[in-house]
A and B are shown apart, each in its own frame.
Chain A
Amino acid sequence: AQSVTQLDSQVPVFEEAPVELRCNYSSSVSVYLFWYVQYPNQGLQLLLKYLSGSTLVKGINGFEAEFNKSQTSFHLRKPSVHISDTAEYFCAVSEWGLTGANNLFFGTGTRLTVIP
Chain B
Amino acid sequence: DAGVTQSPTHLIKTRGQQVTLRCSPKSGHDTVSWYQQALGQGPQFIFQYYEEEERQRGNFPDRFSGHQFPNYSSELNVNALLLGDSALYLCASSLISGGETQYFGPGTRLLVL
The residues of A with any CB-CB pair to B shorter than 8 Å are 4, 32, 34, 36, 41-46, 49, 51, 90, 92, 94-97, 100-109
Contacts and interface: CB of A to CB of B under 8 A. Distances in A.
B105 A43 contact: yes
Contacts, number: 73
B22 to A, nearest CB: 15
A1 B48 CA distance: 18
Contact of B98 (A100, A106, A109): A100
Contact of B56 (A44, A101, A106): A101
A96 B90 contact: no
A49 to B, nearest CB: 7
Nearest to A97: B98
A108 B55 CA distance: 25
B43 A94 contact: no
Interface in B53-111: 55-56, 58, 90, 92, 94, 96-107
A103 B33 contact: yes
Contact of A90 (B4, B42, B99, B103): B42
B11 to A, nearest CB: 15
Contact of B44 (A41, A51, A106): A106
27 contacts: A4-B42, A32-B99, A34-B101, A42-B106, A44-B43, A44-B92, A45-B104, A46-B101, A94-B98, A94-B99, A97-B98, A100-B98, A101-B56, A101-B98, A102-B31, A102-B94, A102-B97, A102-B98, A103-B33, A103-B45, A104-B33, A104-B102, A106-B43, A106-B44, A108-B40, A108-B41, A108-B42
Contacts of B103: 46
A96 to B, nearest CB: 4
Contact of B99 (A43, A96, A106): A96
Contact of B90 (A34, A44, A107, A109): A44
B54 to A, nearest CB: 12
